[in-house]
């Protein structure tokens, strides 16, 4: 695992965007693994800037997102489908048919999850997987637990996640489940880039980088990935 530390949060995005830029510029067709949340937004902004400047194109790329809520209409302002379109896809030239986001309204969620992993494999696997990290060390919706998950699966949201979501949803509309790529699906990516900024992430980063590899801190599994870079600001790296 390689650790890159930047003086400010603003310096993280261009460096992380460089990873995508070199991949998009060097490969005929790229498979991108993408994340939602606050951490990747500056990187998406930087990628949009580079697209507008003619430096990169997403015409020859497919994307697979990490996760999606169960039971939320895609058009809901809080769905990850909406998030990705507002923060990246609507502003670049990716072909909508190459965008893959788990369908949280699928009737058969087991089939939806199995088909998703199969589609990633059929596409040749993810070239670069972007991740954020939860303050408890989660990646995707893989929360601390007794065992590392395998493929994409349906997960019950923890009380703390439901609690942090309560600012976005009314009680009746609050999602209780999500579909998420599993740890094994994430670990199959050829390259992984994780972004963390701010002191709230410092403890999780310490456990992920220096702690034992344990499903109690899901991100610690990344120590075993052969090609993984953490992009951190000084605050997130302050306990290393």
Contact residues: ligand F6R, CB under 6 A: 35-39, 66-67, 132-134, 138-141
3-state secondary structure of 4: strand
Q: Least Å distance between CB 144 and ligand F6R?
A: 12
Region for 61 from its dihedrals, namely left if φ exceeds 0, alpha if ψ lies in -120 to 50, beta otherwise: beta
Look up 85 and say whether it is catalytic. Answer: no
Q: Closer to ligand F6R by CB, 65 or 109: give it.
A: 65
Rounded CA separation 152/68 (Å): 11
Catalytic residue among 65, 138, 225, 233: 138
Look up 7 and say whether it is catalytic. Answer: no
Catalytic residue among 87, 103, 105, 136: 136
Q: Closer to ligand F6R by CB, 57 or 238: give it.
A: 238
Rounded CA separation 152/158 (Å): 17
Q: Closer to ligand F6R by CB, 105 or 136: give it.
A: 136
Q: Which residue is nearest to ligand F6R (CB)?
A: 132
Rounded CA separation 5/238 (Å): 10
Closest CA to 192 of 153, 221, 149, 150: 221
- Contact of 127 with 23, CB cutoff 8 Å: yes
Q: Closer to ligand F6R by CB, 38 or 173: give it.
A: 38
Q: Least Å distance between CB 93 and ligand F6R?
A: 23
Active site (catalytic) residues: 67, 136, 138, 143
């Amino acid at each position: 695992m390689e650790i890159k530390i930047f003086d400010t949060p603003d310096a993280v995005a261009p460096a992380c965007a460089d990873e995508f830029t070199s991949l998009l510029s060097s490969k005929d067709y790229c498979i991108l693994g993408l994340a939602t949340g606050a951490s990747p937004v500056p990187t998406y902004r930087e990628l949009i800037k580079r697209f507008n400047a003619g430096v990169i194109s997403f015409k020859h790329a497919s994307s697979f997102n990490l996760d999606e809520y169960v039971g939320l209409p895609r058009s809901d302002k809080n769905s990850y489908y909406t998030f990705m379109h507002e923060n990246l896809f609507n502003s670049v030239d990716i072909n909508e048919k190459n965008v893959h986001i788990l369908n949280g309204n699928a009737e058969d969620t087991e089939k939806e999850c199995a088909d998703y992993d199969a589609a990633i494999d059929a596409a040749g696997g993810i070239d670069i997987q972007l991740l954020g990290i939860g303050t408890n060390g989660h990646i995707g919706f893989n929360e601390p637990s007794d065992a590392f998950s395998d493929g994409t699966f349906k997960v019950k949201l923890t009380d703390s996640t439901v609690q942090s979501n309560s600012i976005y949803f009314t009680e009746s509309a609050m999602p209780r489940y999500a579909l998420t790529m599993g740890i094994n699906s994430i670990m199959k990516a050829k390259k992984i880039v994780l972004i963390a900024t701010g002191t709230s992430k410092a403890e999780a980063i310490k456990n992920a980088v220096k702690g034992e590899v344990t499903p109690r801190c899901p991100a610690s599994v990344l120590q075993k990935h052969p090609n993984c870079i953490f992009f951190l600001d000084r605050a997130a790296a302050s306990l290393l």
